[in-house]
Amino acid sequence: MSEEFVNKVAESGIITLDLEKYFPEDDIVVFDIKDYLFMGLILKEKDFRQALKELDVQKYQHKIVAVTCTADAIIPMWAYMLISSTLQTASKDIIFGNENDAKTKLLIRNILQINKEEFIDKRVVVKGCGETPIPEEAYLEITNLLRPVVKSIMFGEPCSTVPIYKKAKEN
């Protein structure tokens, strides 16, 4: 007697959404303002402007630039504007924060580009485990994006999920 095995997960119509696929693949370079501070504390406008004029922007060519200051210093707002103005023609994008901040912001941008129309009345599992740690913001954003259109949202793996949302049945 031969029994035929049926893959109930495959037949369920559940769509698995892996947020790792939305992580940025571009190189991220950190621009740390602390390297331009006088005595590690003060940003002198004249010196800073000169340093930016002499900056080799080729190292930022086609890269994401994360602009941060790892020193405990007060940075005037115009400094960020000068950095952006200097790097904009070379870099792919400029983001405030450290490398992890930049990755998270780009991940969120990519999630917000998902065409939610593809998920209308679908059952979606947002994958919970993977090689790359997914920041909490990503789970909030994917839920905010999909909840208005899907039949259900679950977290985990198709064989073992945590229910998050189920659309009420229409009478």
The distance of Cα 165 from the centroid of its chain, to the nearest Å, equals: 23
Q: Of 47, 62, 91, which residue is a domain's last?
A: 91
Residues 39 and 86 in one domain: yes
Determine the residue type at 160.
S
Mean pLDDT of 3-11: 50
Residues 20 and 32 in one domain: no
Could you tell me the pTM of the whole model? 0.82
CA-CA distance, 154 to 54, in Å (whole number)?
Answer: 52
54-101 pLDDT, tens digit each = 999 999 999 999 999 999 999 999 999 999 999 999 999 999 999 999
Domain assignment present for 3: no
Q: What is the pLDDT of residue 3?
A: 65
